[in-house]
Structure 1
Amino acid sequence: MSTGARSSALTGLARLGFGNLGDADRLLSELAELTGRQRPELLLSAELAADPDGALGALVRIARRDADAVRDALANAAATVWRLLGASSGFAEFYLRHPRELDDLTGAGGGLPSTQELRSELLDAVGADAEGFAQTGDESAWVALRVRYRRMLARIAAFDLSVPDAVDVLAPVAAALADAAGAALEASLCVARTRVAGGSVGAGLFPHAHVMGTQLAIIGMGKTGARELNYVSDVDVIFVGGADQSIIEDVGESRAIDIATRLAVQTMRGISGIEIEPPLWEVDANLRPEGKQGALVRSLESHLSYYDRWAKSWEFQALLKARPIAGDRALGDAYVAAVQPKIWMSAARENFVDSVQRMRERVTEHIPPADVPYQLKLGPGGIRDIEFTVQLLQLVHGLGDPSIHQRGTLDALEALVDAGYIGRADAAVFARDYRVLRVLEHRMQLRGLQRTHLMPTTPDGLRVLARASGLAETGPAVWELWEAVKREVREVHVRLFYRPLLSAVAALPADEQQLSQGQAADRLAAIGFRDPAGALRHIGAITGGLSRKATIQRHLMPVMIRWFADGVDPDYGLLAYRRISERLGNTPWFLRMLRDSSGAAERLTRVLSGSRYVGELMEWIPESVAWLDSDEQLRPRRGVLLQEEARAIQARHETVIDAMRSVRVLRRRELLRLGLAGLLGTATIEEIAEGLTTVSEVTIQATLRAVRREIVPPEDAALDFSVIAMGRFGGRELGFGSDADILYVYDANGIDPQRANALALQIVAGLRTHSEDHRVPFDLDADLRPEGRTGPMVRSLESYAAYYRRWSLSWEAQALLRARGVAGSVTLNRAFMALADEVRYPANVDPNGLREIKRIKARVENERLPQGADRARHLKLGPGGLSDVEWLVQLLQHAHAHDIPTLRTTSTIGALNAARDAGLVPDAAADYLAEAWRLASRLRSANTLLSGQTSDILPTDRGKLDGIGRLLEYPPRSATRVEEEWMRTARRARRAFEKLFYG
């Protein structure tokens, strides 16, 4: 192939979505040789693959075993083959084991297999007869079952991947998966009967007649019972045993249960045991009475006796979704019918709602901290939040309202709306987000045909997920979607899950369904508490008893309740106050200060009811309450003092882990101090930005010193390493919740280059690991490095110089405009800044580079807004937002800073003022741009302080807008004013931006 033809071929592969073009070109040639087909023919429908490289690699591996199977599959079902193998390396492994199974993909994707088709196919795989016995009981039956199951699973996946919108077909796809699981258990039970009765293996364990007369019902629980199963999930079951009367009379009920237990064990082994063909999924029977310690199989009577006497509240919640899925249908139906009244009576138990809430909280607490940001199912804002909320509402209201007795989450949501227990808006959000989360979960599990609920952590994994799900165009976009859904779900979950009527209704007698409020609750509701019952509990806990502490609290509480009610979120404020009071216990200065200093008490109620961010930090650092009595304690601390403290910490601790634990405490403490200063007005927005930047610098510097001490041996001490601040960090413009954009650079200084690079990578890894703080996240974001996320994480100074001088793109020069050395070698920092100056302040500006910056800005506006976000409300990327001001300033700096030294600053406002002074920006335009930049920065920080979560979007919720306004010192009920002021300010800034940037 000529050079030109090869270049054209590689370009074509890139257009189809291939990433590793050299390998793809080589593999495609090998596939063409193996199958005897031309390259263009082989690539038909390749663009449909979420991971074309992975699909092509799979096809070549399979073709090496059976080229005819691959050739026929691509000839007859190319679109299905590319979709399936591009979304699932797990199916690639399946077809590598069984190439001829590719034949079944012809015609797949046109529709879902029916319940009856799934059952017939899987029973046929084991040769089941009319009496429920398999043709053989040896391992070959299980292998045949597993292969046939995966064939049917592939048909389901082919349909799922072929539809324009997977969200729309989630319910039928999940139902088909549940039906397939039920059919597989039925087929495995047939094999189990043959094995237990002797069959072809000659075991002769029990007489054939006794096995025939034994009843075993398999009850599907969880997602299986609700017909909303995942591709790869534990299938939760409960086994119910019984027997014909003749068998009981012959051998006794206990013998029948023994037979049923052996059947259950063999059924589970057929699905989950280690055989030649890998297991399908785990059959999980731990929801049975007494869990793992309980009998695997019980009679119906034994089950009911347990539920009457011993069952806990969560067990009735689990039974909500119970459904017969295999085995004796009459016994299964009898079991479900018998437990139904017990399910709906469970909400009348004492402390039922609290116990369910605590169970949900325990699930969250047991997630490994490192997994929390990625946990799609169990984490805050995940699938389980929706399911728990819906189930709790069903249980609380289901006793008197049979209309909400639904198994499926989506069906239950619809029923709860129809009955008036959930507002249509909240239900619509939950339904949409539930489908989105489940589609993401499905695609993640399809990838390796493995059980997982963790979002991908790599750019490549996110890219494949985005393409496979069809929910986003790029990896970053699918992550932004996940973050947006998570925030939305958590917000609705908290509002519904803890709303006051739940506990009140659950505590009522069964024959009384009218909610009754006492006078105290009425008063609390009238003055602004959304949860008067909860508020009463908190007040009782704080003021109860005969101690001196309780007496003082009783005197303080009437006044403090009023102050809480005047705040943004009185419920949270009171809750946080209770927790802080309990943490401080009988500490004498705490109550004395609140009693003797009304200013401190009022400040405390103000910050706790006005900011979850501050409230949570104060719960972790309760001694910070003492700061509220002194303005000096509420001022940002100087960097030199923080540096001295950080160095003293390192001197006290020998290991990096111990040192960083104390450094994290230092950082949290200073973040809290700055949050309080912002809330109480003891520091300006500029001082807070400076303070947040200083805290980040000190944290990085301390981390680098600790990590370097741990990693770099004395013989390599000549190695220089530095951290360069970028973005808002470099501009000393951080807000609450901002990431720290950085670059990593090293200088070998005579050390072997490979050794130096390896040490630098270890330092970077150590920095990223030991700077993590799961309580107050601290993200070191290196995405502004050369080549972005695909580039090396760390480079030598020489490598940066070579890259910038030869390959640097306009956006990379633009990113360097806010570069500033913040940690590590002073000499190396200076050398890097000198290099940066050459790139960011060029003597001769390339007009094409300026045009490219403008083009990228337009593209960012169109592509990076979160899906469904209102452009006008996006404080960063929306019109007149931070991005407009910063890109304009940076364009002017790049074009003119070589000739105008005052433009050489990393500060956005500083550079804007310099541009005004140089006549590059008119006075009025500079005022509009500066006003918009400052207001957007304040709104972002206020939003984070209010909610404790980082967001670039101005909320639409009136309560949140009012809360943000209060933090910005607007009067109460200023939601409309906040919104209108931002829109007006942003419009003026946008007009100025468009005239100067594109004009």
Structure 2
Amino acid sequence: MSLPLLAELPAALQPLVSRNATSLRNAVAAVDGLSLDDWNEQRWAEFARVAAASDFVLEQSVRDPAMLLALAASGELDRAFAAGELCAQVAGAAQAAGSEDELARNLRRQRTRQQVRIIWRDLTRQADLVQTCRDLSDLADAAIDQAYQWLYPRLCAQFGTPTGNRSGLPQQMVVLGMGKLGAVELNLSSDIDLIFAYPEGGETVGVKRPLDNQEFFTRLGQRLIKALDPITVDGFVFRVDMRLRPYGSSGALVLSFNALEQYYQDQGRDWERYAMIKARVVAGDQQAGAQLQDLLRPFVYRRYLDFSAIEALRTMKQLIQQEVRRKGMAENIKLGAGGIREVEFIAQAFQLIHGGRDLSLQQRPLLKVLATLEGQGYLPPAVVSELREGYEFLRYTEHAIQAIADRQTQMLPDDELDRARIAFMLGFADWASFHAQLMHWRGRIDWHFRQVIADPDEEEGEEGEVVVGGEWLPLWEEAQDEEAACRQLTDAGFADAARALKQLASLRASPQLRAMQRLGRERLDAFIPRLLAQAVEHADPDLVLERVLPLVEAVARRSAYLVLLTENPGALRRLLTLCAASPWIAEQITRFPLLLDELLNEGRLFSPPQAPELAAELRERLTRIPEDDLEQQMEALRHFKLAHSLRVAASEIAGNLPLMKVSDYLTWLAEAILNQVLALAWRQTVARHGQPRRSDGSLCDPGFIIVGYGKVGGIELGHGSDLDLVFIHDGDPQAETDGAKPIDSAQFFTRLGQRIIHLLTTQTNSGQLYDVDMRLRPSGASGLLVSSLGAFERYQRNEAWTWEHQALVRARVLVGCPQVGAAFEGVRAQVLGQARDLDKLRAEVSDMRAKMRDNLGTRATQAGLGPNAFDSGVAFDIKQDAGGIVDIEFMVQYAALAWSHTHPALLRYTDNIRILEGLEEVGLMPASDAILLREVYKAFRSAAHRQALQKQAGVIDAGQFVDERRQVRRIWGELGLT
């Protein structure tokens, strides 16, 4: 090696590299036929970096210089392997073995060769962190699987082939790789954590003395470990750690799938959930392994929000910290404060909490999980960026430490030479500058870790730790007399302290609380003081308590929800604010506690997405669910609707959304859901019967539309609105579908419509999506569920009543085939745009309105006080009474039917506001009247929304809106309506 290259190294490392270069030259010279003559300056520069950092590579190269020169000559030091290439090399070595001893020797030599290559490329930065970890993990996968493939047939020849009792099929073992191996994140000197399993009990066949399957696979597992783990003159392949299996070192080496499932269901501990996140089938029967992971997934990922995971991680971290202190491991970059493990804990806390519902978090590699946490809004980009950079710095440091001697350690060295090596490998001039950067990243990671994992009871102050809400604990635990408790409640702002105390006592005595287990009761006892401490910050704590305690009782048996609110004071604060503002919201969250998830992210809660983002979010959620998992798809749709309905209501209460935007969002939400429901129903119906055909023989795809009437058609949905729908298709009713079970198109579309209604209305754990009203279809309840476009047109032209044409004014295609949608719009325009006898039209509209008032209005109208009885002192039905919402709607519909023949632009929109604007623009209504009707209409709808959020009927005091109602009736009369 030339002196200029040596001079580029830190002074402390120059003698070491010089000695190592000499050692390599001497080793090469000692072997006939070997030469370093073709090593150019670049290769020596790479050697200088490697020789400065890794005694292991130097020792192996001196021991077997032919191996190093072969790696260099083949170009394997200079390129990434193609997919499967590394496995092929390991497989070749394993298959060449004629005995178990030879298998062990070949695998060890292959491991040494690959390890030299991987460390070389890592230290010369020809491979980045992800590639290095992937190569190491691929090496482990290949070694385990090739050893297994070599051993299995030989054990079958000796002991018979294991066969399942139930299936009668040959059995193979499944090897689960845990931890870093499972996540494809092995470091340069990782051990491998494994769990062995087999599908079912039985015994071997084909021999005189059969073995029980468990005994067979135990022997196989023992031999597999022997092939990989022991240190021989050739080194080792991988250190094998089996302690993550059920019952640890004292448990059976191999268990059946049933035994594993039973263990995790009955005895699985929190740390085992944490470990199982990264489990991956690394060897054996991949298909059976996928079935095993499906069995174990419910243990790892709970379907509800599981904030108890934070408690478990906090406990694990405390145990680790105790061990770090006991063993003096503060300099351990994995386990110490701000170490690798803390980044893993942050990511896996979110996975355990949310992964049951957000399937995008069900993945193993940490860097991918961090990217998902950013993309899904769980963590801000700046936080993820710091965690990623800090983690990568720590992992590169870990590799530098381990590359020195191929030792499994994460401790920073105290030897000056090794410190100089690590600083050089990480690109620093000296140890001090490296260590300063290391401590910067450890400090940032530890700070972020404490934000996620920190105990909310721990508040730093002069007095040390203070329990939040601790002043309320004696009251909750009945450690003080009733008089003192009432005085405390009164002093804190409760208007009726006795009633509040009684409500708390009723909660304590409820069957749900009496049935709670010890852990749940501890969580409740931690939560109630926090609830009271925040309730008294509100203007009406009595109301807050009254509305929130039913929720507490409802979730008492699922105490993970209490942990969620305990761990997230901001979420509890938002819960109390929303419940105080709206009993409707309080009831929704009580019925569906999964909505508590929405309270965690304040920005998301009060900023519902626009229509395209809404549709994309739902589409993305459903793509993560297998197409054949109907139950999960229905739950996902319902949760999506509940969550976004809550966001809209919260935004409305907060004043972030005006009335018109509230209706827009609720309508967009319905359209996004209907779009996915149609797609789901279409797939299911086509899978059974095939696709229907049009009259020209082409396949319908889907040749079907869902038309919205009423509020959804008029873009005026409110909280809890049902959907008025009509289904229309353009298939040939006589033609049959092209599937294995063909039916005619009329039957097909009827079944499609039934499927859609089923998906929308079925009650699941998360309620139903929508109530659906189909009575506006041709011939109403007695008509066909789905009409062809031609039949719909004939009915509207020849049979429909005037009130059905009024309803058609607000009809709009929501989802479905664009071509059929355009044809429907043409039919609608022709039907509504026909010339009409205005006297007859006014009479029919007036008669229909009178009937509605008589049947649906308040008692004043029904008692004969007349449509102008505004000052009678009775209540006012915002929607049905004279001068109310329906009067305005009928006037708009009358105008559209009367004048769209000469002013077709009136049919462009289906919502009342824009039709009124159209009437003003073409001069059919004075601007003052059009403006007045628009403002009154919005005022009425705002009042109705407020009533809905207060869980009250749309009936208010008759003294409200008196002048507005008079003006509405004036315009009604001026249009000639009676």
Same fold by TM (over 0.5)?
A: no
TM-score by length of 1: 0.42
Which structure shows the higher helix fraction? 1
Greater Rg by CA: 2
